[in-house]
Structure formats: structure tokens, C-alpha cells
Amino acid sequence: MNIAIIGTGNIGKGLARTFAPVQTVTVAGQSVEDAHGLAADLAASGLTVQAADLQSAVAGAEIVILAVPFAAIPAIAGAADFSGKVVVDVTNPIREDFSGITLGFDTSAAETVAGLIPGAEVVKAFNTVFAQVYDQGLDFGGRKVPTFVASDHDGAKAKVIELATSAGFDAVDAGGLTNARYIEPLGYLNIQFGYMLGRGTQIAPAWLSR
């Protein structure tokens, strides 16, 4: 698959590091220079990704991953043509002071993204994983890190589950996009555990089953 990762911060870098060994990855950021900087950083680790401007990265991708703050989404939505693309929303709508989330109950960040780019097939995934987890890999003592994948488009969801599985995630079908209303608070709970309650960032939420 051709994957475009929009965002050159810690999450974007972590996802690029994770997918580069198994997929064709292009990165884009606020500037082309940011993208080239990330590509150079990964090249120093032996990983190959392409750098591009936003419009070119989106145009050449089958799956576009939005690894940016939620507040940046409106500007990105208007800066490229996402028609026909599978768009993965990784955002969590968190207040600037980390005191809570700004959306919930009757909508979600992912549903907002879907409203801003109506020509795309939006999928929620990867928002419950700390960037630092990618530095040490997705294996936790023989157990894979879960990602909860929600979408109203079954084909798009299947592609993201395939993508996630190829990189070593335990990809969990989380139903329709409205379930992002519950996945996003889970992402915030993970932040609470990691930063406010002292458990650190080498953690990830998971469901047990038997």
C-alpha cells in the first residue's frame, strides 16, 4: 500500500517508523523542509520514506493518516483533495491544559473529520498508542499492542486493519464511526494513566477475552 502520513511530530514519526519496513510511506508536514527532516532522521536509522508537500502526498496515497493535533484538521482538510481516499484520524480532541476532552457523547473528532472531508472514507485508529511505544516496538512480552479501528465504510476499515496487522498491531474491529465517541475518551484515559497517574508511556489499553 502507498501510505501518506501527515504530521512530522512524535506520532507521525512513530507511525512512519512502524510502517516503513512493510509499506511504501510518504511523509508531509507544515512544510516540505519538515518532511525532508523527518525522512533524513529515519534514513539514519536505516528506514526509507519519501518526503513531499501535503497535496502531493495525499494525491499519491491509498491511505492517508492524519497524525496531527485535532485543531490542525480544518486547515489540512481545505489544503488537499481527499476525494476517494481512505483517511485515518489519529487525533484526540484534548484541551490545551490536558484537563479533559472537548468533544464527546454526541459526536467525536473522527465524525468531525468526516464532515470536513465528505469525499473521503474516514477511519478511526491508532489514537490510543503513545508515540514512545513505537520507539521500543509493538511487542509487549509476546502480546501485540491493540489498535481499535472504527468506520462506517467496511472496505476502508478492512484496509486499515490489514495495514495495522502488517506492522504488528493487534487490530480490533471497533464497529461504526460513532464508536469513535468511546475510543477517543479511551485515548484520553491512557494519557491520564501515563502522565497524571505515573504509569509512564510504555503502556497501551487492551481488552482481555477467553
Residue 87 belongs to a domain: yes
Looking at residue 155, its pLDDT comes to 98
Q: Is residue 102 one of the residues assigned to a domain?
A: yes
The answer to whether the beta carbons of residues 120 and 84 sit under 8 Å apart is yes
In a domain, 207, yes or no: no
Query: Nearest Cα to 134, choosing from 71, 35, 70, 65?
Result: 65
Q: What angle do CA 120, 122, 123 make, to 5 degrees?
A: 150
What is the rounded distance in angstroms from the CA atom of residue 78 to the CA atom of residue 95? Answer: 23
* Tens place of pLDDT per residue across the chain (210 aa): 999 999 999 999 999 999 999 999 999 998 999 999 999 999 999 999 999 999 999 999 999 999 999 999 999 999 999 999 999 999 999 998 888 999 988 999 999 999 999 999 999 999 999 999 999 999 999 999 999 999 999 999 999 999 999 999 999 999 999 999 999 999 999 999 999 999 999 999 999 888
Cα(6)–Cα(16) distance, integer angstroms: 10
Cα–Cα–Cα angle for 174, 179, 181, rounded to 5 degrees = 140
- Asked whether the CA dihedral 38, 43, 47, 50 is positive or negative, the reply is positive
Judge whether 206 lies within some domain.
no
Place of cell 496487522: 165
Residues 6+ apart with CB under 8 A from 40: none
Residue 183 lies in a domain: yes
Residue-wise pLDDT tens digits, 103-120: 988 999 999 999 999 999
What local confidence, expressed as pLDDT, does residue 209 receive? 87
Count of domains observed in the chain: 1
Judge whether 96 lies within some domain.
Answer: yes
Q: What pLDDT does 177 receive?
A: 98
* CATH code of the domain in which 77 resides: 3.40.50.720
Cα Rg of the chain (Å, integer) = 16
Task: Look at residue 165 and tell me if it is in a domain.
Answer: yes
Of 111, 87, 86, give the one whose Cα is nearest residue 182. Answer: 111
Which pLDDT value is given to residue 78?
94
* pTM recorded for the entire structure: 0.96
Instruction: Provide the residue type at 36 as one letter.
Output: H
pLDDT at 104 (0 to 100):
87
Helix (H) or strand (E) holding 122: strand 121-124
Range of the domain at 136: 2-196
Asked whether residue 202 is assigned to any structural domain, the reply reads no
